[in-house]
Structure 1
């Protein structure tokens, strides 16, 4: 779609393209923010705030410590933590010292962690002590030579830090026994680095900034190679796209952004930590987004302007009895991503906050944002919006040709935010990159005459019932609007007559809801082949830590 028909749908003031050469690296961009916003709060965590100047100093100090270990430029350093203050300090220190960040899911098993550390060739890891027992099980099989151990209270001050650590270790029993005798404590690493000076490393646009692992739920986990220029581009694109909403923050008032999604996930990493830093915002770090009581209690202490989240988080919070305790009147943008936002959830969120969910779309391979609805949307559209500045999309058939207008095809993305490839996997890279530089997403979409794209489903999640394509997201969107349903998910299961049949799994909101009521609703709203053959009720749906539903687990049971 070389004519970029979507540009006519851009909000006023949003440019068609951004200058990707404005910064040579993420380091340049971060250091600009450290100086520009030095006196402002950068992060808030459990009542403790760090200013940009403090993060600047602490990250330099941590970078000095890492350089003292004898690592070479480009060496991989992993971070395996939830949303705690040490995360942004470590990330900035790693990048400023000239190394490559490897984001690691802290809930990984030893097997999954071993794979990622070996595959990436990680030399050092910064890990919360809560997960040290997992590392201990696989450390000997990995190339990791240096371990930095963090505790929840490390950056909370002496007395509060001691109290928090005591509660986490002894009351809540959240730190299993471990034995890592050569590990260095985070605060000790800072003390070690405080006497030195950070060696200035020339970080260039094509240097690798982050290895973002993806595909763990669909196959072998692969590292998406995100260069400094990829992340710089996506931040400049995001900055430009969000400006119409951010302009509604009163002059002189600091932007407050919620970070309830885990920072190891690319959505929270870019749209949370890095975009907030770019804008001079204060990022409210939420360590456990599943504890809705604690999340809402924390949010009640702040004015909130920007809230990126996934469908399950919007839904869970909006349905919680404490939701009204938070003042949502300052909210100027609710950014939905990670997975499809359902219309019933979007309606509920708008009714309760007055701020519509602006749904976007992207992947680890695109840093992540590729498309978005305009941030000043007034109602749910069911689409993923239009390509953001400097981004091109087209729809491809199975032979790699662009489909006819109106037809569904695989979404392919081109832009400065698209990864350089998969880490040391040229075969896997070749499968997803077209000769003309487009990344094949694996998602099936359609586009309308205004350039708005809509996902009809993931290629591999499509259910084939007697030759008819059934897209789970369509069923889920319809069924989730039925009164009495909190959540639902749809998968295909083998069937001797039709090849595959539709299985619908439901979490009730109303305990009185019956299977027959669900089937009657489906008969009224869905054509025959789309109706579920199996209806199952559960107390919860299996999800990744980010909130994506694990369809594989629903198929297996």
Structure 2
């Protein structure tokens, strides 16, 4: 993305924006706007949910359910403990774990205490984790014991106020004891670690339950999350999401979906999307809290056989996922025995959904995939297809209520229908900026207040939007962003590498795969050795699937590597 900020759109473009053609394509029951005066805090939303649905199941994990009342008690205990440890309003609390029962309790407990949540991918390497914790200024971290060894390694560089060790069976009662034993001794999923002074999650609950949390004034303009992303420029940075940003997006999603929920109220949302990912966080954890639904937490969605077994024992009503997940499930043995008769809709985002996958999924479930679009910087949902579609559309649908979009050219002017340009977004869900990076914030915000997504899109006359391509070289692997700069930097640090270039190539399984082109300094360097080096410094999905050695790399006359030339070679071999 260019570092220049486009000029404000000319008057004609602004007028076109005000017409918002997509509003005429809305279902009759969906409001054109949300009541922004109703936007409160996520703490208020949680308290309201606990008060309204105390005996409903809020979450289920490994066959054990937790009610909203129980979740409320656990969140209060965590908030009280954090405050007793000295947490002040605005302090950062990191959560580093997959979808286990403790996650929602920690999430809401941190917010109740006045903390700001930093969601961390538990598969991060030492290097990735250190950057995020240091950049955010994290004081407390809750980590699943399976990944505590990474935290232990990272603590050699800096200190945290407190590390809390969570077990997968925490908050599951007696069932949790079995889950923990299987994790530790059967699956051998816990590597040895040593973190002096770390406390157990159960100790936190016991101590915190002795007193209620101190009232903390949290406002809609306070920060709720530092949601780390490469954004549209490739540099890992935290999108500052205020309570009002995320709460607004929950209300927008509710307004779009509620007319199609049907008469039943006890909805069950398949929550296989990780809660540390903004899609899972908002559409599963927070939206379900707003409507009193239950999150069916899937701790390891890569275990497709186990996932299918779980689905067989439940009558789920709502589902969210990414293309690769739907593809894996649709082709899994036994999926034909899952009862999808109660499924109201299945939404997809995070990466482009392939038509072949959507076709197979409908054959299996009877429901089309309803594709949407969003980013970490937009809390995340910007657009979604109507929920009453009968067939997959191949578009990202229409902007949600109270969302304005524009397709703009290089000069910042809005383009006519059908022309390709940069998708720009304005709405209450758009972030406050990037954490401590005003220069990066300026690059992605226009002078008239639109967020530049970096994605190339076109708009149809009815307001429907289709994503065409990416303006940057970002690679999307199973819905997760991979930035070539980061992978190239790791490769360049290997003593046997002279230079490297990284691109994404189409892949049937993951959407895209990472490919590296390397000029060797050491002629004896092998692809396996280089991949092993990457494994020490990068999360699995960032590791190059293929490494190709070359004598030279294509460059401009000023020495900049031309990734586009490499991509063209892949697309037009020979």
Question: What is the TM-score normalised by the length of structure 2?
Answer: 0.81
Pairing 1:193–2:208 present = yes
The 1:194/1:89 distance shift into structure 2, 3 A limit, reads same
Give CA-to-partner distance per residue, 1:337-359, whole Å, 9 cap, x none: 00111111111111221111110
Question: Residues 339 and 548 of structure 1 are in contact (CA less than 8 Å); yes or no, is this contact kept in structure 2?
Answer: no
Task: Tell me which of 374, 378, 387 is aligned to 1:362.
Answer: 374
The 1:418/1:503 distance shift into structure 2, 3 A limit, reads closer
Spell out the pairing of 1:415-454 with structure 2 (5 A cutoff).
415-454=427-466
Task: Tell me which of 104, 118, 122 is aligned to 1:102.
Answer: 118
Task: Tell me which of 243, 255, 262 is aligned to 1:228.
Answer: 243
Question: Residues 127 and 148 of structure 1 are in contact (CA less than 8 Å); yes or no, is this contact kept in structure 2?
Answer: yes
Pairing 1:177–2:205 present = no
Pairing 1:151–2:151 present = no
Question: Residues 20 and 232 of structure 1 are in contact (CA less than 8 Å); yes or no, is this contact kept in structure 2?
Answer: no
SS at match of 1:161: helix
**Following the alignment from structure 1 to structure 2, what is the Cα–Cα distance between the partners of residues 155 and 256?**
19
SS at match of 2:239: strand
**Following the alignment from structure 1 to structure 2, what is the Cα–Cα distance between the partners of residues 416 and 323?**
39
Deviation at 1:211, TM superposition (A): 0.6
Could you tell me which residue of structure 1 aligns to residue 317 of structure 2?
305
**Following the alignment from structure 1 to structure 2, what is the Cα–Cα distance between the partners of residues 289 and 107?**
14
The 1:554/1:17 distance shift into structure 2, 3 A limit, reads farther
Question: Residues 232 and 453 of structure 2 are in contact (CA less than 8 Å); yes or no, is this contact kept in structure 1?
Answer: no
SS at match of 1:149: strand
Deviation at 1:387, TM superposition (A): 0.4
Spell out the pairing of 1:137-536 with structure 2 (5 A cutoff).
137-158=153-174, 160-215=175-230, 219-247=234-262, 250-251=263-264, 254-461=266-473, 505=507
Question: Residues 67 and 97 of structure 1 are in contact (CA less than 8 Å); yes or no, is this contact kept in structure 2?
Answer: yes
**Following the alignment from structure 2 to structure 1, what is the Cα–Cα distance between the partners of residues 547 and 423?**
25
The 1:218/1:142 distance shift into structure 2, 3 A limit, reads farther
Could you tell me which residue of structure 2 aligns to residue 133 of structure 1?
149
**Following the alignment from structure 1 to structure 2, what is the Cα–Cα distance between the partners of residues 342 and 202?**
45
Give CA-to-partner distance per residue, 1:75-110, whole Å, 9 cap, x none: 000000000011000001000111100000000001
Pairing 1:48–2:56 present = no
**Following the alignment from structure 2 to structure 1, what is the Cα–Cα distance between the partners of residues 503 and 132?**
35
**Following the alignment from structure 2 to structure 1, what is the Cα–Cα distance between the partners of residues 99 and 337?**
23
Q: Which runs of 5+ in 1 are unaligned?
A: 463-471, 477-490, 492-499, 509-541
Deviation at 1:20, TM superposition (A): 2.0
Larger RCO (alpha carbons 8 Å, 6+ apart): 2
**Following the alignment from structure 1 to structure 2, what is the Cα–Cα distance between the partners of residues 502 and 122?**
32
SS at match of 2:313: coil
**Following the alignment from structure 1 to structure 2, what is the Cα–Cα distance between the partners of residues 555 and 374?**
42
Question: Residues 338 and 548 of structure 1 are in contact (CA less than 8 Å); yes or no, is this contact kept in structure 2?
Answer: no
Could you tell me which residue of structure 2 aligns to residue 68 of structure 1?
84
Provide the aligned length of Structure 1 versus Structure 2. 484
The 1:461/1:170 distance shift into structure 2, 3 A limit, reads same
**Following the alignment from structure 2 to structure 1, what is the Cα–Cα distance between the partners of residues 509 and 186?**
32
The 1:315/1:103 distance shift into structure 2, 3 A limit, reads same
SS at match of 2:377: helix
Question: Residues 93 and 138 of structure 2 are in contact (CA less than 8 Å); yes or no, is this contact kept in structure 1?
Answer: yes
More moved, 407-416 vs 393-402: 393-402
SS at match of 2:433: coil
The 1:217/1:59 distance shift into structure 2, 3 A limit, reads same
**Following the alignment from structure 1 to structure 2, what is the Cα–Cα distance between the partners of residues 48 and 506?**
35
Question: Residues 232 and 454 of structure 2 are in contact (CA less than 8 Å); yes or no, is this contact kept in structure 1?
Answer: no
Task: Tell me which of 30, 33, 36 is aligned to 2:52.
Answer: 36
SS at match of 1:73: coil
**Following the alignment from structure 1 to structure 2, what is the Cα–Cα distance between the partners of residues 11 and 372?**
12
Give CA-to-partner distance per residue, 1:306-326, whole Å, 9 cap, x none: 101000001110011111121
**Following the alignment from structure 2 to structure 1, what is the Cα–Cα distance between the partners of residues 467 and 257?**
22
SS at match of 2:358: helix
The 1:202/1:354 distance shift into structure 2, 3 A limit, reads same
Give CA-to-partner distance per residue, 1:393-449, whole Å, 9 cap, x none: 101222322224321001000000000000001011011011111110010000110
Deviation at 1:153, TM superposition (A): 1.4
Deviation at 1:218, TM superposition (A): 6.8
Spell out the pairing of 1:67-86 with structure 2 (5 A cutoff).
67-86=83-102
The 1:393/1:198 distance shift into structure 2, 3 A limit, reads same
Task: Tell me which of 126, 130, 134 is aligned to 1:118.
Answer: 134
Give CA-to-partner distance per residue, 1:262-296, whole Å, 9 cap, x none: 11000000001111111101110000111111111
What RMSD in Å do the two structures reach over aligned CA positions? 2.5
**Following the alignment from structure 1 to structure 2, what is the Cα–Cα distance between the partners of residues 77 and 186?**
14
Q: Which runs of 5+ in 2 are unaligned?
A: 1-16, 478-483, 485-501, 511-533, 550-574
The 1:188/1:388 distance shift into structure 2, 3 A limit, reads same
